[in-house]
Amino acid sequence: MGKIIGRYVLREVLSAWLLMMAVLLIILTAYEVGAVLERAAASQFPQGVITRLIYLGLLQYVSLVAPMALLLGIIWAFGRLYHDSEMAAALACGVRPGVLYRPVIALAVVVAAGLAAVTLVLAPRATFQALTLRDKAIRAGQFAPLEPGQFRSFGGGSAVVYAQRVEPNGALGNVFIERTRGRTVEVAVANQARHTVSPDGTSQTIELYHGERFEGVPGSAQFRIMRFAEHTVPIPMPPANQLVTDLDAAPTAALYASTDLRQQAKLQWRIALPLMCLVLAVVALPLSRLRPRQGRYARVWVALVLYVVYLNLLTAGEAWLGHGQIPPLLGLWWVHVVVILLAVAMMRGPELASRMRIFGARA
């Protein structure tokens, strides 16, 4: 009987966890799609890399979604079991709480192990691939030939170029260029121009012939107009990502071998997320217990508050550790202890306050 009930509880928690994972990933997918499309429009990404960038970005979100989904899944499933009196019936029939909790702990261990593989191996690899792919896409978009009759942005939108005609030899006709430098806006128009790329492929320029240049601050009466026979406009290039110094893309083995505080803090962060799964699963079991006549969603807001506090403490702890404000030996281990104590206080606080009121009234 115990095995049957254990499998039943495991099925309830597993289905609730998968549902929460699906909902959260759908929300994050919508956000990631918007962010990638915005970057793609600003930097002229080739169409083939957008889908891969979205996939690689979502893989990095899994490490944050899985603990939250597990916590909400346990609260959701056990909240229904308590609300429908199924837990009361099982306990009344002599089923021990350990029989009910053991499958959930086993699921948490499996999820934590999978999350460890993600945070320690897959996520850094995905970050490295995403940054590399993004740099290649930016440079491919920036160095692509100009198309006639289309506006083209460079340098993340700091310069916009338009050419009405593009000859087979690369000459441009009826060219418009707008550049922003701080508050100053420069607009240049020319009958002819030529787009050139440096031999090393690191910079590019547009040489304008027989045109005018307008320069000023929008909203101000101060501006100037210059006519020129030849004018060279450098095209800004966005800086390439420094993959070697990006801690999110650094291999875990490199972080482990380093003595730098920032790299040690990043290593502690990667280890803390799988442990977060185990702590939240253990805390969620007593936290999901409902009193009579409580709604099945009564503890969901408590779980959300606990997760937000947990995540903020880990983020702050990583920053403190990276700046040397806490000793490396302490790391982020103290955060798990604080969250467990906080959860105990949240669960036992109302009961202790009630006992104190009763004791005070008797006194």
Three-state DSSP string of the chain: CHHHHHHHHHHHHHHHHHHHHHHHHHHHHHHHHHHHHHHHHHHCCCHHHHHHHHHHHHHHHHHHHHHHHHHHHHHHHHHHHHHCCHHHHHHHCCCCHHHHHHHHHHHHHHHHHHHHHHHHHHHHHHHHHHHHHHHHHHHHHHCCCCCCCCEEEEHHHCEEEEEEEECCCCEEEEEEEEEEECCEEEEEEEEEEEEEECCCCCCEEEEEEEEEEEEECCCCCCEEEEEEEEEEEEECCCCCCCCCCCHHHCCHHHHHHCCCHHHHHHHHHHHHHHHHHHHHHHHHHHHCCCCCCCCCCCCHHHHHHHHHHHHHHHHHHHHHHHCCCCCCCCCCHHHHHHHHHHHHHHHHHHHHHHHHHHHHHHC
Q: Which of 118, 107, 142, 94 is nearest to 9 (CA)?
A: 107
What is the model's pLDDT at position 185? 87
What is the model's pLDDT at position 238? 58
What is the model's pLDDT at position 248? 80
Edge to edge, the sheet with strand 171-181 lists: 151-154, 159-166, 171-181, 184-197, 204-216, 223-235
Q: What predicted TM-score, i.e. pTM, was given to this entire model?
A: 0.70
Per the DSSP assignment, residues forming a β-bridge with 216 are 185, 223
| Number of residues in the chain | 363
What is the model's pLDDT at position 355? 56
CA distances from 112 to 22, 115, 334 (A): 18, 5, 19
Q: How far is CA 8 from the centre of its chain?
A: 34
What is the model's pLDDT at position 242? 45
| pLDDT under 50: residue ranges of the chain | 241-245
Angle between helices 333-362 and 300-322 (to 10 degrees): 130
Asked if residues 20 and 64 have their Cβ atoms less than 8 Å apart, the reply is no
Would the CA dihedral through 128, 134, 137, 142 be positive or negative? negative
